Amino acid sequence: MRLFILSLTLIITINTMAQDIYNIPVKDNKGNETNLSAYKGKVLLIVNTATECGFTPQYDDLDELYATYRDKGFEILDFPCNQFGGQAPGTDEEIHQFCTMRFHTEFPRFKKIDVNGENESPLYTYLKAQKGFAGFDPNHKLGPVLDKMMRDADPDYEKKSDIKWNFTKFLVDQNGNVVQRFEPTADKTALAPAIEALLK
């Protein structure tokens, strides 16, 4: 009996830990308090974005992934961030208009946030604690550029879990587990197989 109770307690604890992501407070793009509970049971790709970045064309990739997998239980959650090169300078409404008119995006967009530092979103505190830096792709044209820039600022940057740049992506499974982190140099060819594996 005692073993059963201990096992049940462990199962409940693990389940609660996995569900934590759904209870973290965030704000929608209108500034209303909310959380991610509406996305329970879905595969999520959580992305910090910017509208004036070398990676901004990835909105096309994201929109293509969304169109391909949304009916199978996939959602992309867009969190604009202006911390990297000041490359998301607009208001929440301006950013939303840019993304919907320029890239025709349809996935949910939230209020602009910080992903590092004193005022970082608790969502990103959680995500970074689950998955550390995954490394820039040296074969991507911007991979060596980012590596040099980061290494010049901090020779040990690879050992830290902070968000390095715009369009860092976290893949979350249907149970709320953060299963993989993709750096900005990862494109749809890397993302699609990982998403498909979770949707099976």
Per-residue pLDDT of the chain (200 residues; tens, 9 = 90+): 555 444 444 444 444 444 489 999 999 999 999 999 999 999 999 999 999 999 999 999 999 999 999 999 999 999 999 999 999 999 999 999 999 999 999 999 999 999 999 999 999 999 999 999 999 999 999 999 999 999 999 999 999 999 999 999 999 999 999 999 999 999 999 999 999 999 98
The DSSP H or E segment spanning 13 is helix 2-23
Q: Which of 46, 50, 53, 123 is catalytic?
A: 53
| Active site (annotated) includes residue 53 | yes
End-to-end CA distance of the chain: 36
The CA distance from 149 to 157, in Å, is 10
Which domains are delineated in the chain?
Answer: 2-199 (3.40.30.10)
